[in-house]
A and B are shown apart, each in its own frame.
Chain A
């Protein structure tokens, strides 16, 4: 399955690549490349572009459900996460998860949700960073 998914995603990356010649940040391609990197057992939900070239953060939101485990990963052109940190905030803007732990940049967060609600998925950049990446969200019960 992973091989087939990877081939399909690679082809799709080529297909959308024509637009990327213009853009410096290939966030679409990076987001697609993150999908097959979701851990085994997780069903793909969304891919996110992390194009923060002119911003200090990029943010999306999603309704997480109690009893479901979510995984969010980060992909970049550079080494590991290239300074990209993904954090999850609840509806009251309390930080409930982050991929930077004790100064260490982690490429994926596993979040077993215990409280249903709207959550904010926020990407920030620790310098030096190209402010360019992708991310994928998956779930499993």
Chain B
């Protein structure tokens, strides 16, 4: 019922502070004149969930490490909408990481931080803290917890896009991606023999290109332009990475009523430990600016 209430509240009238909030975002709203919002939304929809990386990290055998995550104590530092949106994404990734590793007590701290930031951005009605908090108390609820958390973040992104607040959606996704990058880079540094993690870092070149494309629409926003400059530094490091794609026709068969595909195409990633180190250092530097 809480979930229904949160969704119903989405359709209710504007709160008194909505107008002030919208005015505070006006400069960012006009940052991309002539840009089709559908194009921005289509790119936003491409960005994969940081949850995919958290699952990979767990299945690669790496150990849970809470010191890699952003402390929930940093919350009071986030005074601008720019920082709030970025760190909402950061904490979202941290929550997914704690959930995947079954560290629910750590996760509960992030639920509280996420709710605070979402409320301050006037999107708190989409984050069902009561249900998520209840599910987080029992590790047997992991599937439901992941489902509801993912749905909540999807609702937030769809709402922001429908309200022409794409800039916040871009920041939320970028914060989440950078946090996942940072966790992956740190884990890879501790497990230099793990080639899959190195490849995973190399593959992020594709995501970075999409994020840079998104930021190019908001160059007139000083905060976003500043972050774009930092991300372009990361791109310089990624320019040394080569992703080679070879297409080969796939085959399919029906198994238990499901079309099961055998993908015969391949990608290979040319990345060295030195490349990983450089990417890690730049990512750390950008992420430190975001969470400070």
Write out the residue numbers on chain B whose beta carbons fall within 8 Å of the beta carbon of A117.
206, 243, 245, 267
Contact A141 B56 (CB under 8 A): yes
Within B180-208, which residues are at the interface with A (CB < 8 Å)?
196, 199-200, 203, 206-207
Contact A39 B154, CB 8 Å, known A12-B4, A12-B7, A46-B45: no
Smallest beta-carbon distance B255→chain A, Å: 8
State whether B48 touches A111 (Cβ < 8 A).
no
Residues of A within 8 A of B3 (CB): 8, 11-12
27 A-B interface contacts by CB (under 8 A):
A5-B143, A8-B3, A11-B1, A15-B11, A19-B11, A43-B146, A44-B150, A45-B49, A45-B150, A46-B45, A61-B42, A62-B45, A92-B247, A94-B247, A97-B250, A101-B252, A101-B254, A101-B259, A108-B257, A109-B261, A114-B267, A115-B246, A115-B263, A117-B243, A117-B245, A118-B206, A118-B210
A98-B196 in contact given A61-B45, A61-B46 (Cβ < 8 Å):
no
In the complex the two chains form, what is the Cα distance from A67 to B246 in whole Å? 16
Whose C-beta in chain B lies nearest to the C-beta of A48?
A: B45
Judge whether B266 is part of the interface by a CB distance below 8 angstroms.
yes
7 further contact pairs, Cβ within 8 A, besides A8-B3, A39-B258: A18-B11, A44-B150, A94-B249, A97-B252, A101-B259, A115-B246, A116-B243
Q: Are B144 and A1 in contact (CB under 8 A)?
A: yes
Contacts of A44 in B (CB 8 A): 146-147, 150-151
Q: Which residue of A lies closest to B142 (CB)?
A: A1
Residue of A nearest to B205 (CB): A116
CB of A106 closer than 8 Å to a CB of B: yes
The answer to whether A110 touches B258 (Cβ under 8 A) is yes
Indicate whether B137 reaches chain A with its CB closer than 8 angstroms: no
Give complex CA distance A63, B209 in Å.
12
Given contacts A96-B250, A101-B254, A116-B243, contact A110 B56 (CB under 8 A): no
Residue interface mask A89-121, B partner, CB < 8 A = 1: 011101011110100101111111111111000
Residue in A64, A65, A114 whose CB lies within 8 Å of B264: A114
Chain A, interface size category, equals 35 or more
The reply on A125 being an interface residue by CB < 8 A is no
Interface of B toward A, CB cutoff 8 Å: 1, 3-4, 7-8, 11, 42, 45-49, 51-52, 55-56, 59, 131, 141, 143-144, 146-148, 150-151, 154, 196, 199-200, 203, 206-207, 210, 243, 245-247, 249-250, 252, 254-255, 257-267, 269
Q: In the complex the two chains form, is B154's CB within 8 Å of A62's CB? A: no
Report yes or no: B48 in contact with A115, Cβ–Cβ below 8 A: no
Chain A residues near B143: list those with CB within 8 A: 1, 5, 43
Is A114 touching B196 in the complex (CB atoms < 8 A)? no
Whether B151 lies near A62 (C-beta < 8 A) is no
Listed from nearest, the 10 A-B pairs whose CB atoms lie closest are A15-B7, A114-B263, A11-B4, A115-B265, A115-B267, A1-B143, A106-B259, A97-B261, A116-B203, A109-B259
- Per the bound structure, the CA–CA distance linking A107 and B258 in Å amounts to 7
Contact A62 B206 (CB under 8 A): no
Question: Whole-angstrom distance between the alpha carbons of A14 and B3 in the complex?
Answer: 11
Shortest Cβ gap from B212 to chain A (Å): 14
Contact between B148 and A8 (Cβ–Cβ < 8 Å)?
A: yes
Closest to A47 in B: B154
Give the residues from 51 to 95 in chain A that come closer than 8 angstroms, CB to CB, to chain B. 60-68, 71, 88, 90-92, 94
For B252, give its contact among A11, A35, A98, A118 (CB under 8 Å): A98
Is residue A22 within 8 Å, beta carbon to beta carbon, of the partner chain?
A: no
Cβ contact within 8 Å between A90 and B247: yes
Closest to A64 in B: B48
Do A114 and B47 have beta carbons less than 8 Å apart? no
Measured CB to CB, the closest approach of chain A to B195, in angstroms, equals 12
Q: Does A139 contact B (CB under 8 A)?
A: yes
Residues of A within 8 A of B11 (CB): 15-16, 18-19
Contact call A111/B261, Cβ cutoff below 8 A: yes
